[in-house]
Chain A
Amino acid sequence: MNEFRARGVEIAAISIDSNQESRTLCASQGYTFPFLSDPKAEVIRRYGVLHPHAGEDGGDIARPAEFLVDAAGTIRWENLTKNIRVRARPEAVLKALDDLLPPRASLEIKLASRALDF
């Protein structure tokens, strides 16, 4: 979690759960990133990750999926698992991140050294 923040990357979790359910979840697990409620699965549908009639009450829910979106709004990496048991591991996401976006620290060193040259 902190490693994501250190890279300037926010996490946003999306499900059909209500605000109340998300609050309970965040409180019990200590999550500090936003949990967004999409009870009608509209955004879930827009991202093509709908799992129809798979909910406890037969409603539509999301299949597990992860997308990395850069500041320009472009998708840079995605993980669409084939088995709900198998999820993206944080290490794998961090590695993809470091490959795509240079760590902020090295950027700052570059800027600092440029400033010194000046």
Chain B
Amino acid sequence: MKRSWNGLIWAGFAVILLAAFSFLWLIRFPATRDFPWVNLLLFAAGALLLAAGLRRAFRQPERYRGKVSGTILGLLSVAIFGLFYYGTFVLAADIPSASGAPRTGTQAPDFTLPDAAGRPVALSDLLKKDRAVLLIFYRGYW
């Protein structure tokens, strides 16, 4: 009897790839960026598909293929999830605590820095013009 192609394994791996790469797009939206729940759900769905495919590859080897390919894709999936988790939860959280930052109620240190056109801008000048200023420090390299 000819053994049939084990589509569940490949579908599962495709969902795992989608789970990892869709974050590049979902990162634009705060609701899916602050906590990557869509990606984690996709990873879970991919893992279930892969598990079902592997299960039938090993339980019914006479009917389904995929013992070797399923194992390889399964290991790859674990590695992809590991990298995703490391990037979004470990590496992204690896920043200094900013314990020396001025807190609410204290005076904001004044400064003068050049703007994009090279003109010097002082915090005190901005405060004269407006009721308040929101200072946003960002990492750069956009």
Contacts and interface: CB of A to CB of B under 8 A. Distances in A.
A83 interface: yes
A51 B95 contact: yes
A69 interface: yes
Contacts, number: 207
Contacts of B141: 17, 21, 55-56
B114 A19 contact: yes
Nearest to B31: A89
For chain B, the bracket of interface size reads 35 or more
The secondary structure that dominates the A interface is mixed
Contact of A17 (B30, B96, B142): B142
Contact of A86 (B34, B109, B110, B136): B34
B131 interface: yes
Contact of A15 (B131, B133, B140): B140
Contact of A22 (B35, B99, B116, B127): B116
Interface in B84-107: 88-89, 92-93, 95-107
B135 interface: yes
A17 B104 CA distance: 27
Interface of B: 27, 30, 33-36, 88-89, 92-93, 95-111, 113-118, 121, 123-124, 126-142
Interface of A: 4, 7-17, 19, 21-23, 25-26, 34-38, 42-44, 46-52, 54-56, 61-78, 80-87, 89, 93, 97, 101, 104
Q: Please provide the 9 A-B residue pairs with the shortest distance between their CB atoms, ordered closest to farther.
A: A48-B100, A48-B101, A15-B140, A8-B131, A36-B113, A22-B116, A62-B137, A17-B140, A10-B130
